[in-house]
Structure 1
Amino acid sequence: MAKAKTPGRRPQTAQPAIAGAAVAADAPKKPRVSVPQFISQVNAERRKIVWPSRKETWITSVMVFIMVALAAAFFFVVDTVLAFASRNILAIGQ
Structure 2
Amino acid sequence: MSSNVYTSEVTVDNASRDQLSESIRLREQRLAAGIDELVGRLHPKALTASAADSVKSVVIDEEGRPKVDRLALAGGVLLVTVATIGIFASRGKRG
Between structures 1 and 2, the one with greater helix share: 2
**What TM-score comes out, normalization by structure 2 length?**
0.35
Q: Bigger relative contact order, structure 1 or 2, given CA contacts below 8 A and separation 6+?
A: 2
**What TM-score comes out, normalization by structure 1 length?**
0.36
